[in-house]
Amino acid sequence: MNQIKLHQSAIRDIHHGRNLTVVEPVNLYECSFGDDCFIGPFCEIQSDVTIGNRVRIQSHTFICSGVSIGDDCFIAHGVMFINDLFREGGPSRAPSDWKRTVIGRHVSIGSNATILPVRIGDDIVIGAGSVVTHDLSEPGVYAGNPARLLHPNQTGKTQET
């Protein structure tokens, strides 16, 4: 007879600052959050993820191990972070092969964007459905597949869209 292994979604072994709001169901484990963060339902945030202060993460978002998100960021619905580039033609089982992603401060990422292992600087907006395949450093609005700079932000402050 075949057996079924059933795992429940859970919140375990997390570290957090003041005023963390979580809407269940979620799967959060071995990660950390700053002050005044919001996590929407149906999110998974894995081990070795660090999230800064005043970050809002909307529903159905997946943040894999090795991601760091700076202060005052917005992650929209259904954003996927990737840490394995399938270099050997399939998924790597070795965490030592996984790559890191660093998101700066004041970054907004639109719904259904995919973020490969990259560095994204401060004051950047990434359009919905974009695929970020390389580092982004110049403040401004990026979109497309692969994401490219559409509108530089001369002031250094994120523009409302």
Q: pLDDT of 22-60, one tens digit each?
A: 999 999 999 999 999 999 999 999 999 999 999 999 999
Beta carbons of 80 and 101 less than 8 angstroms apart: no
pLDDT at 158 over 70: no
Burial of 112 (0-12, 13-18, 19+ CB in 10 A): middle
Beta carbons of 57 and 39 less than 8 angstroms apart: yes
Domain ranges of the chain: 11-83+96-151
pLDDT at 160 over 60: no
Q: What is the pLDDT of residue 154?
A: 57
| Cα–Cα distance, 67 to 140 (Å, whole number) | 21
Options 3.30.360.10, 1.10.10.10, 2.160.10.10, 3.40.50.300; CATH of 11-83+96-151: 2.160.10.10
pLDDT at 88 over 50: yes
pLDDT at 103 over 90: yes
User: Taking the model in full, what pTM does it have?
Assistant: 0.91
